[in-house]
Amino acid sequence: MASADEVAWPVAVAVRNLIGGELAGAVGGPPATVAVVPGRDVAIDDCCAGLAWVRIVRVFPSDPGEFPNARTAAVTADGCLGGLYWAVELGVGSARCAPSEDDAGVPPTGAELEASAFALADDAGRIRRAVLCGLPGLEEVDEVAIGEQTNVGPSGGCVGQELLVTVLTRACVCGEE
């Protein structure tokens, strides 16, 4: 599927492929869904089968000397920014089932809670590894800046985590490089 977005989409798809491969051996099992997802927030609907995502948080012009900050120089008339550089901020995360009380109202045991935390920590480590070890070698990527990794939930029986990553990439949006 071709995209008119030559800046963020190729980077998001490349990250999706990296995390999908890394999460194939996850303690919680490979996620049933690994996708680039739309929106500011992730709809965590089917976490019990495992969900991993990449979302495009924002895209802005930047330069190698100013990355991961926004470019302070004006954009050129051809849309190529003089240097062709864009920063793409991504949210990269996963979600799993949260332990909950059983039908008799008995809360989860400490061992069940810890197993859930361990599976999420394993996902988080695998996502960090995919980003730190895989992204710098990709053709689409010039530089990588890692942000914070935060917890998601529990919400609707799901818990997860998300890592913010900013990638510097080259793309001319109006013509040839």
| Domains (range + CATH), the chain | 8-168 (3.30.2000.10)
pLDDT digits (tens, 9 = 90+) for 122-145: 999 999 999 999 999 888 888 999
More confident residue, 5 or 54: 54
Task: Give the pLDDT confidence score for residue 71 in this predicted structure.
Answer: 76
Which DSSP state fits 75?
P
pLDDT digits (tens, 9 = 90+) for 24-36: 999 999 999 999 9
Q: pTM, whole model, 2 decimals?
A: 0.88
Beta strand pairing call for 51-61 and 33-37: parallel
Beta strand pairing call for 33-37 and 85-97: unpaired
- Integer angstrom CA distances of residue 150 from 73, 99, 163, 169: 32, 19, 7, 25
Whose tokens are 């495009």? That residue is: 56
- What are the start-end ranges of the E strands in 39-142? 51-61, 85-97
Is 1 strand, coil or helix?
coil
pLDDT digits (tens, 9 = 90+) for 55-82: 999 998 888 888 888 877 666 665 555 5
